[in-house]
Amino acid sequence: MSQARSVTAGGPGRLRPAEGEPRPPLGLTPRGAVLLLVMFALAATAVYPLRQYVSQQHRIERLQAKQQALAAENARLEVERKRLQDPAYVQQLAKRDYHLVAPGEEAWVVTGTPPTSSSAQAAAADPDPPWYKRAWQRLTGWLR
């Protein structure tokens, strides 16, 4: 039996195909194919945990933002709680929100709409009417 491979000048252990032996397809040796298959298997098994990790990182960021918002709301409510300890503030809220009056005070309720000034009416008038109103005004303006 003859040896199909010869030793190259690169050193012992480095083998290459003999002169007449055909090259493997795509230049891929069986050992290279196994290595490629192992690398593909490792990459395929790493996809799911990597996706889970990224998903968890996004969820952690959202929860941290929500936690900061809740902490700010708690601080605001704590300030409001301290303000409600003041009797003058409670009395002010009672007058404003519930229309309560102290003994000896008179309650007045103003009804109706407030009067409008002439400048408010001028502002309410359409300063730039639509094109069809302007065209109609030009066509019929000589009749007045």
Question: For 103, which DSSP code?
Answer: T
Residue 106 has pLDDT above 50, yes or no: yes
Which whole-number Å values give the CA distances from 44 to 50, 61, 121, in the listed order? 10, 27, 73
13-62 pLDDT, tens digit per residue, is 555 656 666 666 677 888 888 999 999 999 888 889 899 999 999 999 99
Alpha helices (H) along 1-144: 30-83, 87-98, 118-124, 131-140
CA angle at residue 40 from 37 to 41, to 5 degrees? 85
Say if CB 19 and CB 33 are below 8 A apart.
no
Q: What is the mean pLDDT of residues 61-85?
A: 97
